[in-house]
Amino acid sequence: MLYPIILSGGFGGRLWPTSRTHRPKQFIPLISEKTLLQETLIRLAGLKNLGSPTFITNVRHRFIVAEQVRAIDLQPRRIYLEPVGRNTAPAIAISAFDIVENHEDGLLLVLPSDHVILNIRSFHKAIREATVLANHDYLVTFGILPTAPKTGYGYIQQGELLKNGTQGKGYQVAAFVEKPNRHTAQKYVESKNYLWNSGIFMFKASRYLEELKAHAPAVYEASQKAYQQARQDVDFMWLDEDLFSQSPDLSIDYAIMEKTSQAAVVPVDMGWSDVGSWGALWEVVNKDIHGNAALGNVYMKEVSNCYIRSDKEIVAALGIDGLIVIDTDDALLIAHMDKEQEVKDVFKRLM
């Protein structure tokens, strides 16, 4: 069985003011009438041997998750509530302990809840290829074929080709690379040997726990104790705050993937974006012939390469280029596309 593990603990600060602490970007419809969380679940339809999804979310978002899953007629397997954020390594560990205890040794498909994937067929093909590798005890990540020298993504260097018994390709991971500067990113793209790190993973639950115990024992021990003492309350599994807080704040990349000798990567071109900024969202949504994306009550004249969103009264834009304009009930953002990464600083300062 393949068990989706949906990570939904982020706050999406670069998409302020639409994304807020009480309702982050994964719970907002940004590319369709469905929210990003719902889109994450809907695109799994058609996969074989698919179990019910497990959710890991912040305690304050528990009712939003339950309501949005119910709205698309899906039944969650578990909804685990994090009392504090401790990054992805302990969050995945909670799910792994659950699967190992209750379903022997299923495969975990770890999915952030706030990404966009436009080519579902390629996504499913990559999952089938990753399944073969995961069943041979590899810890698999999905690497995105880069289209530009992006400095906002981590990169994965491809190693040797693995003979995985499929028509597709899987590679040994040679290295994980932090977000580079533009010059370095350009070299990565030109080499055709580097992939964007998507943050999507697949592995056996038991293999994940073995590697976690070997490379990040403090995360393993704290997560195990928190899982064992989890309290069920109707639709939710409450993790003990004192126990869960004892885990180091570590991502799966730092805790395991950069240390294990069994890391593999499946390259895939699937129209992926982490929608990490307004500019990233602008790139994946439909635009007019002038490169503009507009949502809501918007009037434009002599406007190009802009993303304009109005949640209330009309926004009129005249003679501008390359701007982000986001008008909500209680805040207005106007920024140049070149400053999109700095929106997070505004979010931290104001929220």
What are the boundaries of each domain within the chain? 2-273, 279-350
pLDDT at 151: 87
pLDDT confidence tier of residue 185, bands split at 50, 70 and 90: very high
Taking the C-alpha atoms of residue 202 and residue 84, their distance in angstroms, rounded to an integer, is 25
Longest dimension (CA), the chain: 61
Determine which of 11-15, 56-60, 127-131 has the lowest per-residue pLDDT on average: 11-15
Give the residue-averaged pLDDT of 281-297. Answer: 95
**Do the bridges between strand 263-268 and strand 272-273 make them parallel or antiparallel, or are there none, so unpaired?**
unpaired
pLDDT at 13: 85
Instruction: Compute CA distances 17 → 191, 195, 206, 282, 324, whole Å.
Output: 38, 31, 41, 16, 12
Question: What is the mean pLDDT of the segment spanning 266-274?
Answer: 96
Residues pairing with 8 in the sheet: 57
pTM: 0.94
- pLDDT tier at 341 (50, 70, 90 boundaries)? confident
Distance CA 192, CA 183 (A): 15
Whether a cis peptide bond, with omega within 30° of 0, leads into 17 is yes
**CA 194 from centre of chain:** 19
pLDDT, position 313: 85
CB proximity list for 113: less than 8 A, separation 6 or greater: 6, 7, 8, 26, 36, 37, 40, 55
pLDDT digits 0-9 by tens, 18-34: 999 889 999 999 999 99
Q: What does the pLDDT look like over 33-74, one tens digit per residue?
A: 999 999 999 999 999 999 999 999 999 999 999 999 999 999
| pLDDT score at 183 | 94
DSSP 72-140: TT---SEEEEESS---HHHHHHHHHHHHHHHHSSPEEEEEETT-EE--HHHHHHHHHHHHHHHHTT-EE
Report whether pLDDT(264) > 80. yes
Q: How high is the pLDDT of residue 165?
A: 53
Handedness of CA 196, 197, 199, 200 (dihedral sign): positive
pLDDT tens figures, 154-176: 999 999 998 755 555 799 999 99
177 and 187 in contact (C-beta within 8 Å)? no
**Predicted local distance difference test score (pLDDT) of residue 10:** 83
CATH architecture of 2-273: Alpha-Beta Complex (3.90)
